[in-house]
Chain A
């Protein structure tokens, strides 16, 4: 095989496929990447067996062929080269990388040993508006669980309801639900649960000029087609718990408050909170929110008063400060709304800019210690 392409183009795509190469693995073959020279194109693939990334790049191919070589090593060489055209030449067993000042030779593994790449069945592809999908991903993946005893919660639930598509993530303590108008996805009858790891790659990989993303739903797999990069991932087995049952319907305790002010107060107050629970107490009455915390280990106490809009009954409720700020960071609007009910039931948090139906977060309190 023989091909050449500009260094910067190669670096960018190498970096993309490497995001799936495990740092260490019991299967040494997985630290390699597969290079395939096709007509005028170079295809680079990597996999961790759960997620496979395939990048197809324009290149000057003078001889077809394929090779499997150590991915990170190649990347480390290429990224530090001065901007230039790099040329690869060799066989499956040995690849030579020619650069203006010299050459690098790398031993390869037989391409037969590389795990089989998933077949992309382009006929089954449906398309989704890129911007809405990316928004949905950015607003949900943070709430996924990493506790492997409840595998379904390790992923983001994606479902369609009427002409809406919905994404939900929860770790059992907080929950995020996004809902977006979409008529094209009606074909998605079954709910799918997608690992957040693969979803988080999509916003990174997509080029800004793309309006649509192709999606192929297969049994046990999902494929995201971004044209130059194709990502295929295993799905997580369900069932997903009945999340709708835990979303409170209405509340008479509604607090409206400036988002960034609240976030920075919570951050400051939580410095003196218990290092395990990060508990910060929210005391709300008469247009005033009092944030407080204590930490007996360091003899610390903190309290801040904030102005808010609140006419309901006085309430005191404890939250994990980290969870509160994760949510506040996602909401983006100037003001946010908290709908509370009791100190031991879930609170609803949403932005004043987006309707409650379209994006809500749920947060379960911490039992107050004092």
Chain B
């Protein structure tokens, strides 16, 4: 296998990451169907499952109840995030031994740009093999790697030969392998896009690649271009290190209720709990924002979102809560049963870097004529609660109103 393209971009995807970590830690799970997910009794969803469980049709995102029906003998484990985060940090440092250009995408995925390593490795494949070996030796985990000239192709490539795969996918191979397949073989095309495309007679990836991007733009707006690029494998995105990544555009949190709720006080409590989560994360990462939105899914799976932009940027839970609550139509929680609630803050502005230093000192130059005493008090209180949480954990202190 020789590589004749540049740049050389890898997509490394850990195989059944959470399940693999659990199996590694508990060897008796080896060879058995393992399902890792949240809230086993209720309505949690599957985070990951081992390949043994996948044979029964279990997949991530599926309600755990459904997984239990499909594979009753599976071993269900509730996700223990700390172990995964540790393994993920180890992975990151292994990747960085091979190239500084590592872009983590999630706990178990990363893009690496290994262009320029030719002097050390004649063939980039040697590097990939060595890296895979190191991951196995140090962590006893396997990964699948896609090797391509673009990020998007690398991502598709890593999914082709799972588990423990190594796939080179250049443009030619992409056309060979993907063009005959239905459009949803592409990463990022789901059920609804597939349906809209089918209406226009676009069924395969080849059909999509042939379609003029102007036509796609008319149907899908901005996303039309993206579809075009995806189907032709022509994305030009660069691998970016974590520090160079663009700032977050929004922060959100959502939750599926254990049972559908029809009680306005529970709606309020949940919105408060979600607002607290979002506000806390914004403060941790140094963001303020001014567009607040809610997402509500009723028991009949109809989902609505409502948004409002306030005058001043904020990272305060009470302000996010007040505004989010106003956006929830009255009939929800009264006439209409609620299944899922979400709170999001967007139009974010980064005001502090990771060291806590202010990024825009000019924002604070205007002196106040009438100090907002309540604001000063709330900020002090929030600071104290944040400090307690940093030291003792998120759940040791919470709003009484958010108890559900």
With A274-B362, A277-B362 known as contacts, the answer to whether A148 contacts B369 (CB < 8 A) is no
- Cβ contacts under 8 Å, B314 to chain A: 149
Interface string of B342-365 (1 = CB under 8 A from A): 000000000000000000101111
Nearest-Cβ distance from residue A342 to partner chain B, whole angstroms: 11
Interface string of B272-312 (1 = CB under 8 A from A): 00000000000000000000000000000000000000111
With A149-B375, A274-B362, A276-B363 known as contacts, the answer to whether A174 contacts B311 (CB < 8 A) is no
A172 beta carbon closer than 8 Å to chain B: yes
- Cβ contacts under 8 Å, A45 to chain B: none
Interface bracket on A: 20 to 34
A369 beta carbon closer than 8 Å to chain B: yes
* A366 close to B365 (CB less than 8 A): yes
* A364 close to B362 (CB less than 8 A): no
* A367 close to B367 (CB less than 8 A): yes
- Cβ contacts under 8 Å, A318 to chain B: 365
Which listed residue (B319, B366, B367) contacts A149, Cβ 8 A? B319
A276 to B372, CA, bound (A): 22
A276 to B366, CA, bound (A): 11
Interface string of B312-343 (1 = CB under 8 A from A): 10100001000000000000000000000000
Pairs A–B under 8 Å by Cβ, sample size 16: A147-B312, A149-B312, A153-B370, A170-B370, A173-B368, A243-B370, A279-B365, A318-B365, A320-B366, A346-B369, A362-B369, A364-B366, A364-B367, A367-B364, A367-B365, A367-B367
A364 to B370, CA, bound (A): 10
List B136-170 residues whose CB lies under 8 Å from chain A. none
Nearest-Cβ distance from residue B221 to partner chain A, whole angstroms: 21
A243 to B362, CA, bound (A): 26
A173 to B371, CA, bound (A): 10
Nearest-Cβ distance from residue B391 to partner chain A, whole angstroms: 29
* B368 close to A364 (CB less than 8 A): yes
* A173 close to B366 (CB less than 8 A): yes
Which listed residue (A173, A279, A369) contacts B369, Cβ 8 A? A173
- Cβ contacts under 8 Å, B360 to chain A: 276
- Cβ contacts under 8 Å, B363 to chain A: 276
A14 to B361, CA, bound (A): 48
With A147-B311, A147-B312, A149-B312 known as contacts, the answer to whether A170 contacts B369 (CB < 8 A) is yes
A298 beta carbon closer than 8 Å to chain B: no
A241 beta carbon closer than 8 Å to chain B: yes
- Cβ contacts under 8 Å, B367 to chain A: 173, 344, 364-367
A346 to B369, CA, bound (A): 7
Nearest-Cβ distance from residue A276 to partner chain B, whole angstroms: 5
A246 beta carbon closer than 8 Å to chain B: yes
A101 to B319, CA, bound (A): 56
Q: What is A's interface to B at a CB cutoff of 8 Å?
A: 146-150, 153, 170, 172-175, 241, 243, 246, 274, 276-277, 279, 318, 320, 344, 346, 362, 364-367, 369
CB closest residue in chain B, given A320? B366
* B369 close to A246 (CB less than 8 A): yes
- Cβ contacts under 8 Å, A170 to chain B: 369-370
* A174 close to B362 (CB less than 8 A): no
Give 5 closest A-B pairs by Cβ, nearest first: A364-B369, A366-B365, A367-B365, A364-B367, A241-B370
* B366 close to A174 (CB less than 8 A): no
A121 to B372, CA, bound (A): 37
A246 to B375, CA, bound (A): 18
A362 to B367, CA, bound (A): 12
Nearest-Cβ distance from residue B331 to partner chain A, whole angstroms: 13
A216 to B364, CA, bound (A): 42
Q: Could you say which of B312, B319, B365, B368 has the most chain A C-beta atoms within 10 Å of its C-beta? A: B365
With A148-B310, A149-B375 known as contacts, the answer to whether A172 contacts B365 (CB < 8 A) is no
A346 to B363, CA, bound (A): 19
A276 to B349, CA, bound (A): 14
- Cβ contacts under 8 Å, A246 to chain B: 369-370
Nearest-Cβ distance from residue B294 to partner chain A, whole angstroms: 14
Nearest-Cβ distance from residue B312 to partner chain A, whole angstroms: 5
Q: Could you say which of A149, A174, A344 has the most chain B C-beta atoms within 10 Å of its C-beta? A: A149
- Cβ contacts under 8 Å, A346 to chain B: 369
Q: Could you say which of B319, B360, B364, B367 has the most chain A C-beta atoms within 10 Å of its C-beta? A: B367
Nearest-Cβ distance from residue A254 to partner chain B, whole angstroms: 20
Nearest-Cβ distance from residue A161 to partner chain B, whole angstroms: 19
CB closest residue in chain A, given B372? A150
- Cβ contacts under 8 Å, A364 to chain B: 366-369
- Cβ contacts under 8 Å, B375 to chain A: 149
Nearest-Cβ distance from residue A348 to partner chain B, whole angstroms: 12
* B369 close to A366 (CB less than 8 A): no
Which listed residue (A150, A241, A366) contacts B366, Cβ 8 A? A366
- Cβ contacts under 8 Å, A320 to chain B: 366
With A149-B319, A364-B366, A366-B367 known as contacts, the answer to whether A172 contacts B311 (CB < 8 A) is no
